Structure 1
Amino acid sequence: MGKLFTPRTLAAAGVAASSLLLSGCLLTPGAFTSELTLSKGGAFTFTYDGEIAAMGLSDLARMGSNKEFAAECYDDDFEETECTAAETAEQKAEWEAEQAKDKAEKEQFVQMMGGLDPADPESAQKLADSLSKQAGFRSVSHKGNGVYDVDFAVSGQMTHGFVFPMVEKMPTMSPFVVAIPRGDGSIRIEAPGFGGNDSMVDPSLAMMMGMASKQAGGDAPKAVLPDGTFTIRTDGRILANNTDDGPAEAGGMQVLRWEVTSGSKIAPTALIALD
C-alpha cells in the first residue's frame, strides 16, 4: 500500500499560498480606471476609480488550518485505506509543524497589515475606515472578501515623489503608480502594480488557494485580477514611453494609454519633461 496524498498536502498548499501573499503584493488592482495628468510647471492630478483588493483579509484566516487532525491514507488505486500507527504518527507530526508555521505566517500578516487581524470579522471595515480618513479617498466601500470600491483623486505640485496607494501603518508593497521628479525638470512615471510578472497576481496562487479551501472546508479566496486602463495626459514633452502605439492628441494634450490585464507583461513607464 502507498500514500498518494494526505491532508498535509492541502495544508502545505495553504501555507505556500499565504507565504506568497506575505512576500508579494498585499494590495492589488481589480477592475479600474486610472489617470494621471501632468502640466507644464509641475501641476498634476491623479485619479483611481475602481477596485482594490487586500488579498486574503478574511479567507486567509482559514487557509492551511485543520481544526481537528485526521489521518488519511490511500492505496495505489486511490482507495482509502486504514493508516498504520506509524503513518498516523508521521502525518500528525507534519500537521502540527504546519499548524505552527501557519500561525507564524498569520502573525506576520497581521503585522504587515498594520495590526489588522484576518481572523477578526471587523478587519475589512477597519481597513475601509482607515483609507477613508486619508486625503484623496473620496469614497471607500467594502464589497466582501477584502475587495474595496475606491474613488481616489488628488491634485498638487510635482515637487516630490508620488506613490499610490499608500495606507497608514502599512508598508508600501509594490505600489500601483510611482511618479519621481528629476533634477532636470522631467518626471519619470512607473506603474509596477499595472504590469510585469513581479507585480501581477500569479495564476498559480489561485490554484493553491483552491487546494487550501478543500482542506479548510470552505470556499477559496478568489484572486482579484487587474482589468482596466491607465492613462497619462500631458502638455509636456514625452521623452520616452512603452505604449504600443505612442502618444495621441486630444484637447491640446498628448495622451498615453495602457490596457491593463492579468496578462500584462510590462509595467507602464514614461519619462516626461515639463519645462
Structure 2
Amino acid sequence: MRLHHATRMAATALLAGLSMVLSGCFITPGKFTSELILTEPDQFTFTYEGEIFFVGLSQLAEMGNTPETFEPKPCFNDNTFEERECSRNEIAGQRAEWEAGAEARAAEAARKSEQMAALMAGIDPANPEATAELTRLLLRQEGWEKVEAKGDGLFDIRYSVTGDLNHDFMFPVIEDFPTTNPFVHVILRKGNVVRINAPGFAAENDANPLAAMMGGMAGLAGLSAISDEGEDGPKMPEFPTVEGTFTIVTSGRIMANNTDEGASRSPNGEVLTWAISPRTKTAPTALLDLSR
C-alpha cells in the first residue's frame, strides 16, 4: 500500500475524533502572553494577548466532509492488498453509489451546520460573514479590547479585565457559547484561598484534547509531502502552535504550584511563571492564600 494512502487512512481516524471535538465547538490558544495579578486587596487583573483559535471556523472543520465532486476510491488486489488501477465498471459503481447518496449528504451537511450554529451563538460557520459576526460579538463584551481575524479560524486578540475577587473567574467566556474548555479558571475557596487552573495552556493534556489531536495532525502534515512515486499525499491545513507564557503575580502566600523553578521575587510580590510549548503536558496550577 502506498504511503500517501496509509497517511490518508490515519488522517481519517484523526478526523473521526475531530468531529467529536467539534461538537464542543473547541477554542484553543495559539501564541500568547497571559498574566493574572493578585496583589490588590480583594481584586484581580487578568490579561491575555495573542492568538486564539476557533476550530469551528477553520479548514479543519471541513476536512471530514464528503467532497462535492466525485472522487474514485482506490482499488486493491484481493490477494496482495496492493493498490491497483480500478476498472471502468468499478468506477461506474462507485459513481452510482456516490450519486445515490447526494440527498443524504446534503441533509447531513445541513444538520451539521445547524448544530455548529447552535454552539456558536447562532453564527453559521458556512456563512461568509461568520468571522465578522464573531468579531462583533467579542468586541461588544467587556474586556475584549482587540479582535483581529487572521484567517482560517485564527484571531489576534487583546483581553484585559480588572474586577472584585468575590466570585470565580474563567477565560474565555463568550456570550451563548458553551464553556467547554477554559484557558484559565480561578476558583475561590473559603478562608481567602484561591485555586488557579489553566487547562487550556497544556498542549498535551486530557483537558485539552484538541491540542493533542492537532499534534497528531502535525505529524501527518509532514507525511503528506512524502509519497513512494513522487505523488503528493493529503494536504493538511495549517493550525496554530500552542506556545506562550502564563504568569501569576501575587502578594499572598503560595501554598502550592507546579512551576519548574518555583516563585521569584518582584517589587509587586511573588511571581510564578510557566513557559508553555507544544511539549507541555501538565496544566499550570497554583494554590494561594490571600489572607491579609
- Give TM-score, length-normalised by structure 2: 0.79
Paired residues of 2:259 and 2:272 also in contact (CA < 8 A): yes
Query: Residue 172 of structure 2 aligns to which amino acid in structure 1?
Result: P
> Judging changes above 3 Å, is the alpha-carbon distance between structure 1 residues 10 and 259 closer, same or farther for their aligned structure 2 residues?
closer
1:32 equivalenced with 2:32 (yes/no): yes
Match of 1:173 in 2: 180
Paired residues of 1:185 and 1:273 also in contact (CA < 8 A): yes
Q: Deviations over 1:94-138 (max 9, x none)?
A: 966676555533432221111221211111111111111110111
Aligned pairs (5 A) from 1:96-245: 101=108, 103-195=110-202, 196-199=205-208, 201=211, 202=213, 203-206=215-218, 220-245=236-261
Paired residues of 2:25 and 2:120 also in contact (CA < 8 A): no
Shift in Å, 1:197:
3.5
Q: How large is the RMSD of aligned CA atoms in angstroms?
A: 3.3
Q: Which runs of 5+ in 1 are unaligned?
A: 213-217
Match of 1:82 in 2: 87
Q: Share of identical aligned residues, percent?
A: 38
Classify the secondary structure of the residue corresponding to 1:81.
coil
Shift in Å, 1:21:
3.0
Shift in Å, 1:56:
3.8
Structure 1 distance, partners of 2:276, 2:186, is 18
Structure 1 distance, partners of 2:187, 2:12, is 41
1:48 equivalenced with 2:54 (yes/no): no
Shift in Å, 1:36:
0.2
- Which of 248, 265, 270 is the equivalent residue of 2:264? 248
Aligned length: 266
Classify the secondary structure of the residue corresponding to 1:272.
strand
> Judging changes above 3 Å, is the alpha-carbon distance between structure 1 residues 121 and 175 closer, same or farther for their aligned structure 2 residues?
same
Paired residues of 2:12 and 2:64 also in contact (CA < 8 A): no
Aligned pairs (5 A) from 1:60-71: 60-61=61-62, 63-71=64-72
Paired residues of 2:168 and 2:187 also in contact (CA < 8 A): yes
Classify the secondary structure of the residue corresponding to 2:83.
coil
Paired residues of 2:23 and 2:116 also in contact (CA < 8 A): no
Structure 1 distance, partners of 2:100, 2:184, is 42
Match of 1:215 in 2: none
> Judging changes above 3 Å, is the alpha-carbon distance between structure 1 residues 156 and 242 closer, same or farther for their aligned structure 2 residues?
same
Structure 1 distance, partners of 2:157, 2:47, is 10
Q: Deviations over 1:231-272 (max 9, x none)?
A: 000010001111111111011410000011222111100011
Structure 2 distance, partners of 1:188, 1:240, is 9
Structure 1 distance, partners of 2:9, 2:96, is 13
Compare 134-143 and 18-27 and name the one that shifted more: 18-27
- Which of 76, 92, 98 is the equivalent residue of 1:92? 98
Q: Which runs of 5+ in 2 are unaligned?
A: 225-233
> Judging changes above 3 Å, is the alpha-carbon distance between structure 1 residues 221 and 70 closer, same or farther for their aligned structure 2 residues?
closer
Shift in Å, 1:33:
0.2
Classify the secondary structure of the residue corresponding to 1:170.
coil
